[in-house]
Amino acid sequence: MDNQYRYLFAGDSITDWFDTDSLLPEYKIQNVGVAGDCSLDLLERINYRWFTAPSDYIFICIGANDLARRRSPEEIIETVEQICKKMESFTDHSKIVLTSIFPVRNNAERMNDDINQLNDLLKQLTEKHKYCYFNLYNYFVDENGMLKEKFSDDGLHLTNLAYLTWAEIFRNSNLNGLECEHF
């Protein structure tokens, strides 16, 4: 990633608790994640103040809490598409980057099969609208299709090691302006 760019991170607790100020201090990142948010909450929270200093890239990581609220992957993707459109209405040059939903470990409210289906739909949405897809899922899933044990204490939320790993993946990723080749 190029640190000359500005980034907006939006999402739920996974994003909210990503301390980008200390883990990625060389980047200009505005983190507007809120613990407990589902996609409907994020859609309602979007406001023009997030765009007063326009971001080059908008990273969106949302959907796990929707699954816990029994929303289908198809319903979630419809809302994510509305989120993207609303954000695009505030900016004319930002590139949308949809971040994969992280796997979970022994979490009855969020099943990995649903997360995989949602991630497939996110990829399709990126193709439909020429967004980028930031695939973190593959780095965090174990051989049994669950969140690696070292990356979570409760099977859902990320440990410091997981955030360090995310930061390193971000650092080593290459958007090359508006290209999305790493994703």
Q: Check residue 175 and give its pLDDT.
A: 59
pLDDT tens digits, residue range 70-114? Answer: 999 999 999 999 999 999 999 988 999 999 999 999 988 899 999
What residues pair up with 46 in beta bridges, in sequence order?
A: none
- What is the pairing mode between strands 132-134 and 57-61? unpaired
Q: Check residue 2 and give its pLDDT.
A: 55
Indicate the pTM of the whole model. 0.93
Q: How far apart are CA 64 and CA 62, in angstroms?
A: 6
pLDDT tens digits, residue range 4-59? Answer: 899 999 999 999 999 999 999 999 999 999 999 999 999 999 999 999 988 999 99
Tell me how far the alpha carbon of residue 95 is from its chain's centroid.
Answer: 14
Q: At what angle do helices 73-89 and 112-129 cross, to 10 degrees?
A: 40
| One-letter amino acid for residue 181 of the chain | E
Tell me how far the alpha carbon of residue 168 is from its chain's centroid.
Answer: 15
pLDDT tens digits, residue range 55-78? Answer: 999 999 999 999 999 999 999 999
pLDDT tens digits, residue range 123-178? Answer: 999 999 999 999 999 999 999 999 999 999 999 999 999 999 999 999 998 754 44
Q: How far apart are CA 88 and CA 50, in angstroms?
A: 12
Q: Check residue 108 and give its pLDDT.
A: 84
Nearest to 10, CA basis, from 85, 118, 84, 93: 84
